[in-house]
Amino acid sequence: MLDFLLVALLTLHLLLVDVAMAGPLACIWLEWRGARAADLASDNLARNLARLATGALVGGVLLGGTLLAIRWATGDRGYFRAVAMIPASRLWFGLAELLFYLACMLAYVGLWDRLRAWRFAHRLLALAASSNLLLHFPALFVIISVLSRRTAMANEPLDRAGYWQLLSDGEVASRVVHVWLSSLAVTGVVLMALALRSKLPSDAFAARQGLIRRGAWLALIATLLQLPVGMWVTLEMSEAARESLFGGDLLASSLFGVSLLLVLFLAHTLAAVAQGDPRPGHVRRSVAMAAMIVLLMVGTRWRANELARAVEPATPLLTANTR
């Protein structure tokens, strides 16, 4: 029961952070489209998405803190040992980056009308916020996750050179790219849902349909790219974790198999919407399937990692995944 709670909270955390990371990039495109074509629907949608992305980061941070508190209360010290191995300067810099994101996005939303004459500077705020999260936080937390399974033989802090070396580790690199694509896919689906629920006049029906289709294209492209990247992630997993996905453990194999089937169904639905069938039912189905895929994938990795910890000996810190 506790594992299910942790998986559910982590799923929600990841969904919120996905929107926070890629949402501002979608805002830039929507704002540009609204200015170029005098498209009020795109401009309004960009505002709503910017507010949502800002709130999503706050919610994601709060959920992340809740997850850390649960891990500590349940005696899971491996994760905290991994955090302690990260250079302190990197952790403090991470806190500053969160504040930087909030400052940029609050300014981006608050100065929306005042900076219309300086559109480049306005969009630069959203670009700075998004790139700040995308470039730093997926790598940091993937490294912490990897270290939590490689700390049995190392208790000393990881120096700067070791941190950068881990960035080129196959498991770290593949999972970071996976997170980037996931953020784009989730943001595309969220864009579809926001467009569907946006309050527009009756004569703006075509504009709404166009925004839904563009959100579907973003989600579809990112989802299709996830297929080869997902294979890369799987190949870079430890042998015990990988074997659990392919018949070694019934639960892990079932979660993995169902998630792959849902990915195919999601891609089919997104393709239908992107090619001109943006029915509300398709949009709602896409939202539900995207959330379920993330939940199943998180559960799959959680189960696979638990099994790997139980059967694998301690592995070298920086050479565990060099095969």
The pLDDT, as a whole number, for residue 150 is 66
- Pick 205 or 61 by higher pLDDT: 61
pTM for the full model? 0.88
Virtual CA dihedral for 191, 193, 195, 199, nearest 10 degrees? -140
Report d(CA 28, CA 320) in Å as an integer.
Answer: 40
Band of residue 77 on the pLDDT scale cut at 50, 70, 90 = confident
Q: What is the DSSP letter of 321?
A: T
Q: What is the pLDDT of residues 128-179, one digit of tens each?
A: 999 999 998 999 889 888 887 765 545 567 777 777 888 888 889 999 999 9
In angstroms, what is the C-alpha Rg of the chain?
20
- The tens digit of pLDDT for each residue in 89-142 reads 888 888 899 999 999 999 999 988 887 778 888 899 999 999 999 998 999 889
pLDDT grade for 36, boundaries at 50, 70 and 90: confident
* Chain centroid, CA 35 distance in Å: 29
Report the share of the chain in percent with pLDDT over 70. 90
Per-residue pLDDT band for 81 (boundaries 50, 70, 90) equals: confident
Q: Is the pLDDT of residue 73 over 60?
A: yes
CA distance 224 to 117: 38
Q: Which residue has the higher pLDDT, 162 or 187?
A: 187
What is the rounded average pLDDT for all residues in the chain?
Answer: 85
DSSP 212-267: HHHHHHHHHHHHHHHHHHHHHHHHHS-HHHHHIIIII-HHHHHHHHHHHHHHHHHH
Query: Which own/partner contact pairs does 35-44 have at CB distance under 8 Å and 24+ positions apart?
Result: 35/119, 39/207, 40/204, 41/195, 41/198, 41/200, 41/204, 41/207, 41/208, 41/211, 42/207, 42/211, 44/198, 44/200
pLDDT attached to residue 309? 67
C-alpha torsion 234→85→315→310, nearest 10: -70
DSSP 129-189: HHHHHHHHHHHHHHHHHHHTTS-TT--SPPPHHHHHHHHTSHHHHHHHHHHHHHHHHHHHH
Q: Residue 286: what residue type?
A: S
Give the C-alpha separation, 230 to 177, whole Å.
Answer: 9
Length of the chain equals 323
